[in-house]
Structure formats: structure tokens, C-alpha cells
Amino acid sequence: MAFVDEVRVQARAGRGGDGVVRWLHAFGMDKGGPSGGDGGKGGDVILEGVRDLAALATYRYTKKVRAEDGEAGGNNDKHGADGKPAILKVPVGTVAKNRATKEEFEILEEGQQIVVLRGGPGGFGNPHFKSGTNRNPEEATPGKTGEAGDIEMTLKLIADAGLIGFPNAGKSSLLNELTRSKSKVGAYAFTTLEPNLGDFYGFILADVPGLIEGASSGRGLGTKFLKHIERTGFLIHLVSAEQDDVADAYRVVRDELKGFGRDLEGKHELVVLSKIDLLDGEEEVQARIEALEEVSGAEVLPLSIADDRLVKTFSDRLAALLRSKE
């Protein structure tokens, strides 16, 4: 199923069932007392968190959802059945917004349920209107309409660490190496067209599609994937050794994080010089490391997927960093 991270649906909670006018049947009497049941409550519209990143694709073509109406009351004070809710299964990390009221809801855990639209209450049957002066009321009330509105749902991935950098910086290859994920890799821009996740010793790593200059204003894959960085614990910033100017490549991505806002640039960052096997000798590697350390103000880790020793060193460092943040 295709990865979809933004959808909008027209949702309506159920209408409450009507209260009714009914009578007990007593011997020799037409009316032995009021006995009309209350109407059932209309079904709610509910979000439920699931561990399925593709769950929002369900609503790509299903644009309208509606909960069941409550049933009308019955004889002998029988309460009408409540309407069944409409349960929208959404990925953990989804933010839903009622476009009319601007109210927002967040799903942060699997199995978590949040009512976003409430069903209407059922009406009252005629026993509610009995009084000392009105012993045989002919009155009942209808059920009320449930809430309705356009619900906008946006997935923002929740991950312990996010891999960022230019297209072809080696993010997908690193994710595959560390987590045995099966992210697509290739020697062309925007190999990754959707975020990929992998399990690294119980921690979740997210490969966020490549950023380019102008991404924060919508260029390339633009803001579509910048938002996925918001909920990552920290960033693994890969700069490819193929770049002629690694410092400039680093600055461009950092500027896009700052331009997008939401304090993305304030996240802790692990800086990596990737693909060092493509350079000629240690001197060239060291020169690029020094250039990156100067612009980032941080230690830079050299890495090549082709070098098991470097992968092991990086893996150990990453695991220690993740555990320190538990």
C-alpha cells in the first residue's frame, strides 16, 4: 500500500435516537402510565493508534465516514441501542485537526483512542415528563444531531533518531546496514521517496528523504518530509565525502532546518562524513573531517559501509548515545 502522510476526511458522528411516547397496558385502562424509552446515543468518531505507517492510505479515496445513529426508544421503558462508533485507525504519530474548531488531537501510542467528534444524545421518552399535574404526558423529545466536521490528519514520524542529509548521502544504505531494513538505494537523486524505519537494538531509526537547498520553502520534496524530523530524538547528519565542499553541504541542510522552524535546528546532532571509501587516501579524508568539524563545531565520525570496522565503531557509538537518552 502506498505511503500517505496527509489526508482529509468529512466525518460525522451519529444522531441520537428519538425518545418515544408509549404506555403501560393495565386491565380496563387505555393508559396505565407512561413507559416510552429513551433514545440511544449516536456513535462517536474515534481515532485509534496502530503500528502501521500505511494506515492513512485507507482514507485516500474514502473521503466520508459516519458513525451509526442511535436507535429510538421502545415499549416498557426500553432504552434504544447506542450507535456504533466510526473508528479511524491511524499510525502512531498522527496529528488530527478539526478544521472548523481548530482543535487538535495527537495519537502517541498504539491502542490509544481519542474521540474527535461526539455522537448526539438520545431523546427522552414520555416518563421524563410525568408530574403531579400531568400523569399521562404525551411528550417526548427527538435525539440530537452528532458533531460533524472536516478532519485533517497528518503523520509525523516518532523515531529515536533521524538520518538527514542531501540525496545520495548514504542514509538508506546506512539504515539497511544497521537494521537490516530494505530501503531502496541508487545513484540518483531522491532514491527515497518516503520515510523508512528500522529497528536498531530496540530503538527506531528513520531515514528521512533527502533535503536540498530551498526544501523549507517547498523545493524538491520540500516541507513534505521536513515535518517528520520534528519528533525524532536527535539527528544523524550524513555529509557525503563526494561533495567538493562538505562545509557548504552541511550548512545548506542546517539552513533548511532553521528555515522550517519548530526548533529543528536545536536538536542534538551526530555528524558523519559518509562514503570515505571514495576518497584517495587518509589526507583527503582528514581534510574533509576538519572542514566539517570547523563548520559544525562537533566531532565528525568517518564512515564507509564497505568498511566493517568503521561500521562497528559507528554502531557502538550510536547505541551508547541512544541508551544515554533513555
* Same domain, yes or no: 56 and 147: yes
Indicate the SS3 state at residue 237: strand
* Same domain, yes or no: 245 and 122: no
* Same domain, yes or no: 127 and 208: no
Cα Rg for the chain, rounded, in angstroms? 29
* Same domain, yes or no: 126 and 163: no
Is 187's pLDDT higher than 50? Answer: no
Number of other residues whose CB lies within 10 A of the CB of residue 188: 7
The CATH number of whichever domain residue 86 belongs to comes to 2.70.210.12
Is 159's pLDDT higher than 50? Answer: yes
Quote the CA–CA distance of 268 and 131 in Å, as a whole number.
69
Query: Which residue range forms the structural domain that includes residue 191?
Result: 159-324
pLDDT single digits (tens) 272-290? 999 999 998 899 999 999 9
Is 240's pLDDT higher than 50? Answer: yes
Give the pLDDT confidence score for residue 261 in this predicted structure: 66
**pLDDT average, residue stretch 155-172:** 85
* Same domain, yes or no: 251 and 150: no
Give the pLDDT confidence score for residue 218 in this predicted structure: 46
Kindly report which listed range (37-46, 260-269, 316-325) carries the lowest average pLDDT score.
260-269
* Same domain, yes or no: 130 and 223: no
* Same domain, yes or no: 227 and 239: yes
> Phi first, then psi: what are they for 278, rounded to 5°?
-85, -5
Q: In total, how many domains does the chain have?
A: 2
DSSP 8-state class, residue 23: B
Of 199 and 190, which is predicted with more confidence? 199
Give the pLDDT confidence score for residue 190 in this predicted structure: 37
Quote the CA–CA distance of 172 and 178 in Å, as a whole number.
10
The CATH number of whichever domain residue 294 belongs to comes to 3.40.50.300
Quote the CA–CA distance of 247 and 251 in Å, as a whole number.
6
Last residue of a domain, one of 107, 130, 155: 155
pTM, two decimal places: 0.70
Quote the CA–CA distance of 206 and 163 in Å, as a whole number.
6
Of 9 and 210, which is predicted with more confidence? 9
Give the pLDDT confidence score for residue 184 in this predicted structure: 44
Q: Residue 293: in which H helix or E strand, if any?
A: helix 282-296
Quote the CA–CA distance of 195 and 160 in Å, as a whole number.
14
Provide the pLDDT confidence category of residue 119 given band limits of 50, 70 and 90: very high
* Same domain, yes or no: 111 and 166: no
Question: What share of the chain in percent tops pLDDT 90?
Answer: 59
Last residue of a domain, one of 155, 175, 203: 155
CB 243 within 8 A of CB 167: no
Last residue of a domain, one of 121, 155, 189: 155
> For the chain, how long is the longest CA-to-CA vector?
109
Kindly report which listed range (16-25, 73-82, 149-158, 176-185) carries the lowest average pLDDT score.
176-185
Judging by beta carbons within 10 Å of its beta carbon (0-12, 13-18, 19+), is residue 187 exposed, middle or buried?
exposed
Give the pLDDT confidence score for residue 146 in this predicted structure: 98
Give the pLDDT confidence score for residue 211 in this predicted structure: 61
Question: What share of the chain in percent tops pLDDT 70?
Answer: 86
Instruction: Kindly state the cell numbers that stand for 156.
Output: 509525523
